[in-house]
Amino acid sequence: MKVCVFPNDSLLSYYQKGEIKEGYFNPKNYFQEVHVISLFDEEIDENKVQKLAGSGTLKIHKIGKTNLTNYQNSEERVIKLIQKINPSIIRAFNPLVQGWLAIKAGKELQIPIVISLHTNYEQQKSESKKRGKYFRFLKLTYTANKIEKYVLKNADAVICVYEFIVDYAKKMGANNIHVIYNKIDLQQFSPNIKKKFFSKIPVILTVGRLIDQKNPKHIIEAVKNLQVELLIIGDGPNYNSLNYLVQSLELSNKVKFIKSVPHEKLNSYYVSSDIFAQSLENLGGISMPVMEAMACGLPVVMTERSESCPEIIDDAVFFVKNNPLEFQNAFKKILSDLELKNSLEKKSLEIMAKIGGDVMEKKECELYQELLNK
């Protein structure tokens, strides 16, 4: 059995960000072959990212740079390529250009198509306008009207990786919607992993791309008057400004940056820490680092969501308003109240046992089986 995958980014980019996860494109090793349709100029050698296919064979087919200016020109070439591959399922990881080509090929060749949603593009559009990113706003307006609705209406199934995306999917006309959370390997992410380091004082950890919507500046400011260390793992456009903030606050002895850690080594950093913190501005859902931290038994301090839609993790999270004082008070309370800390840790582990990688992979496989048995 074969699957064709349209990833959200080049596999080279996945590799550079340390996001190569075992079996990510092949849950439960359901497929013997995984064929990646890459719409990018630069790609990586297949051997370096083979683990994405689990025990299956990974093959990368490079189409070249494909975007909103030329995506329709790639339609015939993509259809011919997929016809030659002859997959059982086509999976696209967004409802944009990748999704459009997946739908065109699937409908032409009568192959079931699964589209996954990893963000709410309506929310992204609103945020772009709010932040004055008008070119991105115009792009998202175009895709919403010309591509997203067409893709989501015509998909045989739509996977939402968070509850809060479901309403957006329905609004765009999606049917057969399934909530399947991002897969966390509970053997890889566990409290029983060997620690990376030991610290005499509590360590607060935050992991994620350093962008405006995930800016940890308030977390940095929150630790100024606390006897803790703050470890920030991530890179992005705000890296230099955050370093400058640390220097200006004279916190260089308290705050450490690590630009990148391979995904398979992140677990040792989680279990070495005492609290996981994340600042999300106007974003819903659950980030992968939050789930990984919970799987390692960490209490999580996180900003309140702008969306009212609850997620399965909420009972285990210490929610705060997005300002330094709120974060500071949350850190102090958790570190001074062992009963609270233990309770949050226990809840984290209990919730992740319900949505661990094996459970989510099983749901994904059952969806593929449902489509193939129609």
C-beta atoms surrounding 252 within 10 Å: 10
Q: What CA–CA distance (Å, rounded) separates 161 from 153?
A: 18
CA separation for the pair 3, 33 (Å, rounded)? 6
**Contact status, residue 7 vs residue 94, Cβ threshold 8 Å:** no
69 and 37 Cβ atoms separated by less than 8 Å? no
Does 3.40.50.2000 match the CATH number of domain 2-183+357-372? Answer: yes
Q: What are phi and psi of 42, to 5 degrees?
A: -105, 135
Give me 156's structure tokens.
């045989």
Q: 5: Cβ–Cβ under 8 A, 6 or more apart, which residues?
A: 25, 34, 35, 36, 37, 91, 92, 93
2-183+357-372 and 203-354 share one fold: yes
Q: pLDDT (tens digit, 0 to 9) for every residue of the chain, 374 residues total?
A: 999 999 999 999 888 877 788 899 999 999 999 999 999 999 999 999 999 999 999 999 999 999 888 988 999 999 999 999 999 999 999 999 999 999 999 999 999 999 999 887 777 777 777 777 777 777 777 787 889 999 999 999 999 998 889 999 999 999 999 999 988 999 999 999 999 999 999 999 999 988 888 889 999 999 999 999 999 999 989 999 999 999 999 999 999 999 988 888 999 999 999 999 999 876 667 888 999 999 999 999 999 876 667 888 999 999 999 999 999 999 999 999 999 999 999 999 999 999 999 999 999 999 999 999 87
Alpha-carbon distance of 367 to 66, in angstroms, equals 29
In the chain the beta strands, taken as DSSP E runs, fall at 2-6, 33-38, 57-62, 89-92, 113-117, 157-160, 177-179, 203-207, 229-233, 255-258, 275-278, 300-303, 317-320
Sign of torsion over alpha carbons 38, 43, 45, 47: negative
Give the C-alpha separation, 77 to 219, whole Å.
48
Q: Where are the domains of the chain?
A: 2-183+357-372, 203-354
CATH superfamily of 203-354: Glycogen Phosphorylase B; (3.40.50.2000)
Q: Give Dmax (Cα) for the chain.
A: 63
